[in-house]
């Protein structure tokens, strides 16, 4: 907001999402604090509060609001948070094909996918859901440790693994939706 006339200003170019959400640039975040910050920011800039303001401010308010949504979603989810941190450090996410070098891991992913592709069975789905959650928690711990010792290459590898599990999580959610 402009200090003089209190009119809403546009968001800056290429904002740092961590700074925006008042968090340290770290893989560890306090989810509750993040949520509080999200709510208080939205209270200040949400388009609903700018219905009476000039069109330019209404437009800025939409921009701020959607940026805050994006920042919140990115930092809340460990995978997107990790990938964003890598990006801030100038490390590109894994792009090259994972080959048989990691065949144990890929075989596991393949097997879970195959189970998920079978006709819906409540027990098996629950089993898979638990397995995915456990793996995601394990990986999140390992990623936290990697970032803490500044091992960005290891973090990159682990985040790639998390991506496979994130896809499985989505497929599982879709499977659970009553058809």
Partner 1 sequence: VGDAMPWQVVDHYENPRNVGSLDRKAKNVGTGLVGAPACGDVMKLQVEVDENGKIIDARFKTFGCGSAIASSSLATEWVKGKTVDEALKIKNTDIAKELCLPPVKLHCSMLAEDAIKAALADYKLKQDPNKEESEKKA
Binding interface with partner 1 (CB under 8 A)? 93-100, 102-104, 106-107, 109-110, 113-114, 117, 160, 163-164, 166-167, 171
* CA 36 – CA 42 distance, rounded (Å): 10
**Identity of the residue, 73 or 103, whose beta carbon is nearer to partner 1 in the bound complex:** 103
From 126, 122, 127, 15, select the one nearest 69 (Cα to Cα): 15
Spacing of C-alpha 106 from chain mean position: 23
Q: What are phi and psi of 162, to 5 degrees?
A: -60, -30
Find the shortest distance in angstroms from Cβ 116 to partner 1: 8
**Smallest separation, CB 155 to partner 1 (Å):** 13
Q: Using the minimum distance from each CB to partner 1, give the nearer residue, 44 or 106.
A: 106
User: Minimum Å distance from CB 66 to partner 1?
Assistant: 17
Q: Provide, rounded to whole angstroms, the least separation between the CB of residue 162 and partner 1.
A: 9
Token output for 128: 């898979």
Q: How many residues does the chain have?
A: 179
In whole angstroms, how close is the CB of 79 to partner 1 at the nearest point?
10
Q: Which is nearer to partner 1, 5 or 104 (CB)?
A: 104
| Sequential DSSP letters for 111-145 | HHHHHHHSSP-HHHHHHHHHHHHHHHHHHHHHHHH
Nearer to partner 1, 20 or 160 (CB): 160
HSE-up of residue 130 (Cα within 13 Å, Cβ side) = 5
Identity of the residue, 29 or 109, whose beta carbon is nearer to partner 1 in the bound complex: 109
Residue that the structure tokens 């209404």 belong to: 58
């Amino acid at each position: 907001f402009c200090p003089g006339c209190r009119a809403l200003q546009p968001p800056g170019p290429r904002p740092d999402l961590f700074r925006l959400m008042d968090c340290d640039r770290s893989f560890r975040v306090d989810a509750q604090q993040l949520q509080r910050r999200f709510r208080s920011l939205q209270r200040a800039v949400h388009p609903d509060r700018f219905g009476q303001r000039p069109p330019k401010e209404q437009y800025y308010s939409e921009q701020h609001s959607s940026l805050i949504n994006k920042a919140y979603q990115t930092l809340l989810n460990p995978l997107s948070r990790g990938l964003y941190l890598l990006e801030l450090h100038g490390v590109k996410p894994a792009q090259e094909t994972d080959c048989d070098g990691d065949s144990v891991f890929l075989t596991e992913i393949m097997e879970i996918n195959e189970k998920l592709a079978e006709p819906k069975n409540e027990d098996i789905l629950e089993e898979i859901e638990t397995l995915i959650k456990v793996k995601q928690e394990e990986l999140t711990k390992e990623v936290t440790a990697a970032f803490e010792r500044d091992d960005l290459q290891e973090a990159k590898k682990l985040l790639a693994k998390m991506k496979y599990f994130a896809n499985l999580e989505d497929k599982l959610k879709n499977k659970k939706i009553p058809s």
